[in-house]
Amino acid sequence: MKPAPFVYHAPKTLEQAVAVLAEVAPEDGRVLAGGQSLVPTMAFRLARPAHLVDINQVAGLDRLAVENDALAIGACVRHAAFHRPVAAGPLGDLLAFVVRYIAHYPIRTRGTFCGSLAHADPASEWCLVAATLGGEIVARSARGTRRIAAADFFQGLMATALEDDELLEAARLPVPTADTRWGFYEFSRRAGDYALAMALATFRLEQGVMVAPRMGLGGVEVSPRRIPEAEAVLTGKPPEIGIFRRAAEAAADAVDPLEDIQASAEYRRDLVRAVARRALERAAA
Ligand SMILES: Cc1cc2nc3c(=O)[nH]c(=O)nc-3n(C[C@H](O)[C@H](O)[C@H](O)COP(=O)(O)OP(=O)(O)OC[C@H]3O[C@@H](n4cnc5c(N)ncnc54)[C@H](O)[C@@H]3O)c2cc1C
């Protein structure tokens, strides 16, 4: 099938982009970034936006830089930009590890980090990273700019706090300290498929015990999120397999898993036990 007819807009500046978006938002105007999720849904006519606001020619949206202790990722930064570490220390390594789980190489050369956040698939790796690390979303509209914590941004199955006239201008990931350990583990049926469950764990070690642990899960519930019940088990404890098992069990008890054609809720809960423990083991290795 071919997409339903739409009007195509190609602004060159951010100001033009948000002005066009404000004008067309009431008629289902949509931002086009990498097109790797939007275009297939339009081709199947599951989405029929009347206007597309293509942001690929907007100057400055490809910015990717560490500023004020955060990695700023502009709206047109592609997944492939992370194939090599983009920041010194654990953050660059973590992003370079995780990016290889996203789809396939050609998709990674077009799809964008911010497009993934805006699309808010429950099994998006970047949504999990933003939620676990405490990222921030910079939303821009003709009305001004606002910053939204990732924990407040994801609002359910493919739903976000973005208003129709808002452009996700950039995402900001706090730069963890150099001694932060991290581990990511994903289970999917085939390489490149969306995760059925995945976990990202980070912590620091002080005098042999874990401090400031973060345990995030994705692909399990309607949105990726941190699991405070698991983090409470880890805090102040040595990084040992028995503690990891208890934390993974606490995570499995805490989640309200999705049930779909891919997996039952109970299967996903069981996967949580495995991915949470393995992410922690990788962080400790
Ligand atoms: C075969 C296949 C496998 C895939 N596997 C995975 C996977 O394993 N993991 C994963 O995370 N993703 C996967 N994807 C999706 C891919 O990562 C997309 O690139 C991503 O979800 C969306 O990014 P995009 O830039 O292509 O956005 P687009 O497709 O252009 O847009 C997606 C949605 O977000 C909105 N949007 C995009 N950018 C902005 C913005 N800056 N401001 C406001 N709204 C915006 C659009 O209006 C649209 O509603 C897969 C895609 C395919 C085709």
Cβ–ligand 1 distance for 141 under 6 Å, the answer no
Residue 136, beta-bridge partner list: 149, 172
* Index of the ligand 1 atom closest to the CA of residue 37: 29
Q: What confidence category does residue 27 fall into, taking pLDDT thresholds of 50, 70 and 90?
A: confident
Cβ–ligand 1 distance for 38 under 6 Å, the answer yes
Is residue 42's pLDDT more than 80?
yes
DSSP state string for 111-147: -BHHHHHHHT-TT-HHHHHHHHHT-EEEEEETTEEEE
**Mean pLDDT of the chain, nearest integer:** 97
The answer to whether the CB of 193 falls within 8 A of the CB of 271 is no
Residues 78-127: tens digit of each pLDDT:
999 999 999 999 999 999 999 999 999 999 999 999 999 999 999 999 99
Cβ–ligand 1 distance for 30 under 6 Å, the answer yes
Q: Residue whose CA is closest, atom 48 of ligand 1? A: 38
Residues 193-217: tens digit of each pLDDT:
999 999 999 999 999 999 999 999 9
User: So what's the pLDDT on residue 57?
Assistant: 98
| Phi-psi map region of 246: left, alpha, beta (phi>0 left; psi -120 to 50 alpha) | alpha
The pTM assigned to this predicted structure is: 0.98
CA distances from 210 to 55, 93, 177, 183, 206 (A): 43, 20, 14, 14, 6
Rounded distance between C-alpha atoms, residue 282 and residue 285, angstroms:
5
Ligand 1 center to 173 CA (angstroms): 19
User: So what's the pLDDT on residue 36?
Assistant: 98
Rounded distance between C-alpha atoms, residue 270 and residue 27, angstroms:
43
In which order are the strands placed within the sheet that holds 181-187? 181-187, 197-206, 209-218, 225-226
User: So what's the pLDDT on residue 1?
Assistant: 72
Ligand 1 center to 162 CA (angstroms): 15
Residues 226-242: tens digit of each pLDDT:
999 999 999 999 999 99
Residues 246-277: tens digit of each pLDDT:
999 999 999 999 999 999 999 999 999 999 99
Cβ–ligand 1 distance for 118 under 6 Å, the answer yes
Give the pLDDT mean for 37-62: 96
Q: Residue whose CA is closest, atom 40 of ligand 1? A: 168
